[in-house]
Every structure is written in C-alpha cells, then in structure tokens.
Amino acid sequence: MLYGMTSDIAVLAEDLTKFYGAQRGIENLNLDVKVGEVMGFLGPNGAGKTTTIRLLLDFLRPTRGHARILGLDPRRDKAVLHRQIGYLPGELAFPGRETAKDLLRFFGDARGGVAWSTVTSLAERLDLDLSRRVRAMSKGNKQKVGLVQAFMHQPALLILDEPTSGLDPLMQQEFLAMVRDARDNGQTVFMSSHVLAEVQSTADRVAIVRNGQLAAVEKVESLGRRAVRSVEIHFGDPVSRAEFTGLPGVSNVEVAGPVLRCTVDGRLDPLIKAAALHEVIDLLSAEPDLEETFLSYYYHSEGATDATAAAGA
C-alpha cells in the first residue's frame, strides 16, 4: 500500500509558502507528518489550513518552498499519488446528479477498483442510505458520502478538511473511531479543524496555524495538561468574588450576584471544593474555543511560550 515511500515521513512541507497576490495564504510552513500518525491541523477559519491542504494536493502551486507526499512530488507524481490519498474537501460539492451509489462506484473505478463491500460497510457504519441522490441530501448526509469516498480505497494517507462539520455528535464519535481504525491499519491521517476538542481525542500531534503561519506543533498529551475551560456556576445565594480568587488554576473570576464565571487551567478540584461550601444550582463547563485561549497563550505572552517549551521538553 505504501509504494513510492522513501522514508517514514508521509507529509513533508519545507518552507511551503503561498501568496494570492499580496495576500498571504500560508508562509514558510515547515511540517512533517510521520507514517502512521494522526495529525490535527488546527487554526481559526482563514488561518491557511485549506490553502495548505490544496498545496499538498497540487490544486495550488506554491509561491515558494515545496511539499513531498509519501516521498513523491505532488505535481509530477499526481496520478500515482492521488490513488494513495483519500481527500475530503472542506467545502463539499459533488459533481453530477447521481445517487450516492453511482457516484461512489465512479470514485471506486477511478481509483482502480474498490471492493463494494468496503463501501457498504462504511455506509452502514455511518448510517448512510446509498440509494438517494446526493444533490438532494442534507449537509450531514453529504458529509457522510464525502467520508465514505475518502476512506473507501483504504488510502495510505487521509487528508481531511474539517471532517466533522455537519455531523451530529453520534456520527462524530463514529468518525473518530474510523480515524483510530485507520491509524491501527497503518494509515496516516492529516485532518484540519477549528475545534481543539475534536482532534484532541484522536490526534497524536497537533499543528497550529494562525494568520498564515505555523504557531506550534505539539504532542496532544502536552495540550491536555493545559486544557483550559470556562466554568459558570449558579449558586442559591449571592457569593463573594474573594472566595474564588487565588484558587490554584482559577483566573478571570467574575461574580454577578449568585453567578460565578471563571476560567480554569488544569484540575477542576480546587474550584469544586470551594463551590461546595454553597448551594450549587447549576454548573456549566465548556471547552473554550481555540482562538480564545490556546492561541492567545502563544501570542499574547512571551513568558508563556517559554513555559510551554519547558513543559514540552
């Protein structure tokens, strides 16, 4: 399956740069994804994720630098390479007005033949009706067709742009299981997302881009330790702010009558113990979005960056 391979690097970007006129798509991207690895490619919308993916697939040509995929050149070896890549576009649109079955048959034939049982078992797994016309499908079902075509030929490398968009939570879990199976199979997965939690549970490493530049590449374990979340607690009676400031890991404390809002870095235990002194009506805890916390960690304080480097080492 991995013919054409010259090393254990599945995706290599060296100084990869794309400008659209004066506008920056991605600049000086240096990145490697190892064979058999699941890499999350994170960043807010417009950060350059899709540009990078399109460069890897040779839809775009770099302004500078180059990429190697499975040891091959994206442009020169496109025909050989794309047989080994499963690609899910970020903005999914299907050519033609066929049923999912006919469309998937075409994708299978074009990739040199795919066992139909693989397609039907993927469709079953995602609860997808193949007899319906793709054009008439809901966004979620279209996404499932996109996933089936990306996985159906068991490619050496899966390049997935926002794979869970439009999927309901149950199907998101099923998708993440498919990614884990692919990794167990020795396949490499490169998937973009703008939600940290989504890649956290499956990825080995995450690369984070912002404003067209690579901000960091981290092992997921080191991210987990720094899982910052926002917490909102509704008490039976008004509480005082002083009780909660100074708790380990708790910051940004705001109190409005009986409602406490704060962010917690790391363990929730100190906050819970302090809150338990009062009658708790409701407790809400949310993964903060990437833009808000994780990236600000890198961009708004130099000291934090050093601390991260130390923690990562």
Partner 1 sequence: MLLPPLVRKTSRDDRRAVIGWTAGVAAFTTIYTGFYSQFQGAAELKQNALPQGMLDFLGIADMLSPAGYLQATVFSLIGPLLVLMCAVTLSARTIARPEEDGGMELLLANPLSRKAFATQRLTAAAVAVTVVAAMPWILLSILVPAIAMDVPLSNVAAACVGLIALAWCFTGIAFLVGAVSGKRGNVLAITGVLAVATYMANALSNMSEGLGWLKWLSPFYYFIGTDPLHTGWHPGHLLLLAGIGVATAIAGIILFDRRDVGV
CB of residue 124 vs partner 1: minimum separation in angstroms? 22
* 234-237 contacts at long range (C-beta below 8 A, 24 or more positions apart): 234/258, 234/259, 234/280, 234/281, 234/282, 234/283, 235/259, 235/260, 235/275, 235/278, 235/279, 235/280, 235/281, 236/278, 236/279, 236/280, 236/281, 237/278, 237/279
In this structure, the number of other CB atoms found within 10 A of the CB of residue 208 comes to 22
Binding mask 127-156 for partner 1 (x = CB under 8 A): -------------------x--x-------
CB of residue 58 vs partner 1: minimum separation in angstroms? 8
User: Which strand (E) or helix (H) includes residue 94?
Assistant: none
Which C-beta is closer to partner 1: that of 150 or that of 208? Answer: 150
Which C-beta is closer to partner 1: that of 49 or that of 54? Answer: 54
**Site for partner 1 (CB under 8 A): which residue of 1, 110, 286, 311?**
110
Strand segments (E) across the chain: 9-20, 23-34, 38-42, 64-69, 85-88, 157-161, 188-193, 205-210, 213-219, 228-235, 250-256, 259-265, 280-286
**Site for partner 1 (CB under 8 A): which residue of 111, 226, 261, 278?**
111
HSE-CB at 244 with a 13 A cutoff on CA atoms is 29
Which C-beta is closer to partner 1: that of 102 or that of 291? Answer: 102
Binding mask 225-264 for partner 1 (x = CB under 8 A): ----------------------------------------
The stretch near partner 1 (CB under 8 A) out of 55-63, 117-125, 198-206, 279-287 is 55-63
Does residue 282 touch partner 1 according to CB under 8 A? no
CB of residue 116 vs partner 1: minimum separation in angstroms? 15
User: In b/e form, how buried is each residue of 137-170, taking b as 16+ CB within 10 angstroms?
Assistant: beeebbbbbbbbbbbbbbbbbbbbbbbbbbbeee
CB of residue 19 vs partner 1: minimum separation in angstroms? 11
In this structure, the number of other CB atoms found within 10 A of the CB of residue 201 comes to 14
Q: How far apart are CA 97 and CA 280, in angstroms?
A: 55
Which C-beta is closer to partner 1: that of 82 or that of 234? Answer: 82
CB of residue 146 vs partner 1: minimum separation in angstroms? 8
Alpha-carbon dihedral sign for residues 81, 83, 88, 92: positive
Does residue 49 touch partner 1 according to CB under 8 A? no
Binding mask 60-89 for partner 1 (x = CB under 8 A): xx-------------x--xxxxxx-x-x-x
Residue carrying structure tokens 């890897």: 56
Which C-beta is closer to partner 1: that of 110 or that of 277? Answer: 110
CB of residue 91 vs partner 1: minimum separation in angstroms? 5
Give the interface with partner 1 as residue ranges (CB under 8 A).
20, 54, 57-61, 75, 78-83, 85, 87, 89, 91-98, 102, 106-107, 109-112, 146, 149
